[in-house]
C-alpha cells in the first residue's frame, strides 16, 4: 500500500481575503430576520424574543393539538409532479381575489391581540401586507380600531356578537373606513380549550404577577415596549372592562344560525367571506345564503381538536362549490410550496396566520416582510421546478395527495 503524498503549505492572506466574511452582530431586527432562511427560522428567533406565554399563545392550539399537527402533516402527504423543458423564465404569481389583483395567492389571516406579539402590532402587519400587495384581515379581537389602521387591501373579520346592533355598528364602521371585504368566522360558537394558555396563566392584558416579573428580566425590551405604548385592549369592543371570559362570551354567540348569515348578507353589500367551513355540505349552505367566498379552516387547530384537516377537505369543498364562490384554505401553511400545494388542490388562495406572526414576534414589520418574501420566493421556485409559470396552471396534474 503506497502512502498518498500530500504536500502542505501555509496559505497566503491574498488567497484567504476573498473568502472571509466578517458579519456584524445582528442588533437590528431587520438584519436578524434577514438571515432567516425559512419561516421555521423566524419561529426560532421569535421564541427567544417574546415571553413564553406570548409565544405559546401563537404557537399553540386546542386540547391535544392534534388538528394542528395533522394540518402540518397533510402538507407532507403532497406529491408534486413536475413537467420539464418548458420555458419558466418569467413567472407571474399574481392572481385576483374577490375582483381585485393580489401579488400572490396569499391573504394575511385575522389574528387577535396582535400588539401583544410586538408593540407595532396590526400597523406593522398591515404595512408589510400593503407593501407586498396582499390583503390583510383585521380581527374583531384586534388591538387597533378599524379606523386607526391604514393600508392597502384591508378586509375585516367579524364574530357574530350576541348584540346584533353592536355587530352592525362595527360592520358600518369597517365599511366607512374603507375595508373592502367582510369575513365572518363561524367555527367559534364557544371558545376552544387552549391548554398552553391555561397552564401559562395567560391573561389579556398580561398581569404583573411574580412569575411575569421574572419574565421581565429575560425579555426586558418586550416589556418596556408593552408598558410604554398605549394599553393593550380589544379595540373594537365597546366596553373592554371585565374578565376575558365575559368578553369572549359576549363576542361569540352559540345561538347563531344560517338566518344570521342571511341578515349579514343584507347588511353588508361588499364581498362576504365565511371562514371556518369544514365540510362540503356547509360550504354549499353558506354559498346558497350569499357568501362570495369560503375559507376551509379549523381556526389553525385552535377550536375543535381532531377536526377535519383543511388541506384534505379542500378538494371536496372546491368541487361542491364549483366556481359559485372563491375557496380559500388555511392551517399549517409555512412555505410557498405549501401555498402551491393548496392552490393545486383547489384553493384560490391560502390564508396564513402563524407564518406572519412568527415574523412579527421576531422583528416587527421587517419580520412580517421577511415572512412574505420567503413565501413568495418559495412559491416562485416551486412553480419553476414544476414547469409552470403561474399559479393558475396548478391543478391535479401537478399536485396530488399521497
Ligand X SMILES: Cc1cc2nc3c(=O)[nH]c(=O)nc-3n(C[C@H](O)[C@H](O)[C@H](O)COP(=O)(O)O)c2cc1C
Per rule CB under 6 A, is residue 369 in the interface with ligand X?
no
Q: Of 104 and 351, which CB lies nearer to ligand X in the complex structure?
A: 351
- Dist CA 235 CA 118 (whole Å): 16
Is 5 assigned a catalytic role? Answer: no
Residue 245, CB half-sphere, CA atoms under 13 Å: how many?
5
Among 297, 309, 369, 382, binds ligand X (CB under 6 A): 297
146 three-state secondary structure: helix
Per rule CB under 6 A, is residue 157 in the interface with ligand X?
yes
For residue 268 the three cell numbers come to: 353588508
Among 67, 139, 200, 398, binds ligand X (CB under 6 A): 139
Per rule CB under 6 A, is residue 200 in the interface with ligand X?
no
The residue with cell 406565554 is: 53
Among 45, 127, 138, 141, binds ligand X (CB under 6 A): 141
DSSP label at 103?
S
- Dist CA 402 CA 391 (whole Å): 21
Please state at what angle helix 52-59 crosses helix 210-218, rounded to 10 degrees: 90
Among 30, 34, 91, 112, binds ligand X (CB under 6 A): 112
Smallest separation (angstroms) from ligand X to the CB of 350: 8
Burial class (CB in 10 A: 0-12, 13-18, 19+), 19: exposed
Q: Of 310 and 315, which CB lies nearer to ligand X in the complex structure?
A: 310
Among 93, 109, 170, 280, binds ligand X (CB under 6 A): 109
Among 299, 348, 370, 376, binds ligand X (CB under 6 A): 299
The window from 16-24, 209-217, 236-244, 345-353 that contacts ligand X (CB under 6 A) reads 345-353
Cβ atoms of 113 and 141 within 8 Å: the answer is: yes
The helix, strand and coil proportions of the chain, stated in percent and rounded to the nearest 5, come to: 45, 10, 40
Per rule CB under 6 A, is residue 154 in the interface with ligand X?
no
147 three-state secondary structure: helix
Cβ atoms of 275 and 310 within 8 Å: the answer is: no
Total residues contacting ligand X by CB under 6 A comes to 25
Per rule CB under 6 A, is residue 174 in the interface with ligand X?
no
Smallest separation (angstroms) from ligand X to the CB of 130: 19
The phi-psi region of residue 11 (left if phi > 0; otherwise alpha if psi is between -120 and 50; otherwise beta) is beta
Backbone angles phi, psi at 349, to 5 degrees: -160, 165
Per rule CB under 6 A, is residue 354 in the interface with ligand X?
yes
User: What track of x and - describes contact with ligand X for positions 249 through 278 (by CB under 6 A)?
Assistant: --------------------------x---
**Contact positions with ligand X (CB under 6 A) in 11-70:** 57-58
70 three-state secondary structure: helix
Q: Of 34 and 112, which CB lies nearer to ligand X in the complex structure?
A: 112
Q: Of 121 and 332, which CB lies nearer to ligand X in the complex structure?
A: 332
Among 332, 336, 346, 363, binds ligand X (CB under 6 A): 332
Annotated catalytic residue: which of 118, 119, 123, 299? Answer: 299
The phi-psi region of residue 113 (left if phi > 0; otherwise alpha if psi is between -120 and 50; otherwise beta) is left
Per rule CB under 6 A, is residue 135 in the interface with ligand X?
no
The residue with cell 418574501 is: 373
Binding region for ligand X (CB under 6 A): 57-58, 109-112, 139, 141, 157, 185, 275, 297, 299-300, 302, 330-333, 351-355, 357
Amino acid at each position: 500500500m503506497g502512502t498518498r503524498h500530500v504536500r502542505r503549505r501555509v496559505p497566503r492572506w491574498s488567497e484567504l481575503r476573498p473568502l472571509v466574511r466578517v458579519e456584524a452582530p445582528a442588533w437590528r431586527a431587520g438584519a436578524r430576520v434577514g438571515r432567516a432562511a425559512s419561516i421555521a427560522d423566524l419561529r426560532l428567533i421569535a421564541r427567544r424574543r417574546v415571553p413564553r406565554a406570548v409565544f405559546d399563545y401563537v404557537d399553540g392550539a386546542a386540547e391535544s393539538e392534534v388538528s394542528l399537527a395533522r394540518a402540518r402533516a397533510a402538507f407532507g402527504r403532497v406529491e408534486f409532479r413536475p413537467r420539464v423543458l418548458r420555458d419558466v423564465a418569467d413567472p407571474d404569481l399574481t392572481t385576483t381575489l374577490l375582483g381585485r389583483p393580489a401579488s400572490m395567492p396569499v391573504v394575511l389571516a385575522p389574528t387577535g391581540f396582535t400588539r401583544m406579539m410586538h408593540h407595532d402590532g396590526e400597523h406593522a402587519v398591515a404595512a408589510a401586507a400593503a407593501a407586498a400587495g396582499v390583503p390583510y384581515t383585521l380581527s374583531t379581537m384586534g388591538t387597533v380600531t378599524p379606523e386607526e389602521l391604514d393600508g392597502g387591501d384591508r378586509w375585516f373579520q367579524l364574530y357574530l356578537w350576541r348584540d346584533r346592533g353592536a355587530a352592525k355598528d362595527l360592520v358600518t364602521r369597517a365599511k366607512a373606513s374603507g375595508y373592502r371585504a367582510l369575513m365572518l368566522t363561524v367555527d367559534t360558537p364557544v371558545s376552544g380549550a387552549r391548554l398552553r394558555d391555561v397552564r401559562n396563566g395567560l391573561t389579556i392584558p398580561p398581569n404583573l404577577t411574580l412569575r411575569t416579573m421574572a419574565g421581565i428580566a429575560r425579555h426586558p425590551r418586550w416589556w418596556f415596549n408593552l408598558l410604554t405604548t398605549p394599553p393593550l385592549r380589544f379595540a373594537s369592543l365597546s366596553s373592554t372592562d371585565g374578565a376575558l371570559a365575559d368578553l369572549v362570551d359576549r363576542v361569540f354567540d352559540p345561538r347563531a344560525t344560517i338566518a344570521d348569515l342571511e341578515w349579514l348578507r343584507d347588511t353588508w353589500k361588499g364581498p362576504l367571506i365565511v371562514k371556518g367551513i369544514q365540510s362540503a355540505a356547509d360550504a354549499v349552505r353558506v354559498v346558497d345564503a350569499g357568501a362570495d367566498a369560503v375559507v376551509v379552516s379549523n381556526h389553525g387547530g385552535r377550536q375543535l381538536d381532531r377536526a377535519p384537516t383543511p388541506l384534505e377537505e379542500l378538494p371536496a369543498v372546491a368541487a361542491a362549490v364549483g366556481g359559485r364562490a372563491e375557496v380559500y384554505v388555511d392551517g399549517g401553511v409555512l412555505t410557498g410550496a405549501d401555498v402551491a400545494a393548496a392552490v393545486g388542490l383547489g384553493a384560490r388562495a391560502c390564508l396564513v396566520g402563524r407564518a406572519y406572526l412568527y415574523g412579527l414576534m421576531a422583528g416587527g414589520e421587517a419580520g412580517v416582510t421577511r415572512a412574505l418574501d420567503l413565501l413568495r420566493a418559495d412559491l416562485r421556485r416551486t412553480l419553476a421546478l414544476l414547469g409552470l409559470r403561474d399559479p393558475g396552471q396548478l391543478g391535479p396534474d401537478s399536485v396530488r395527495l399521497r
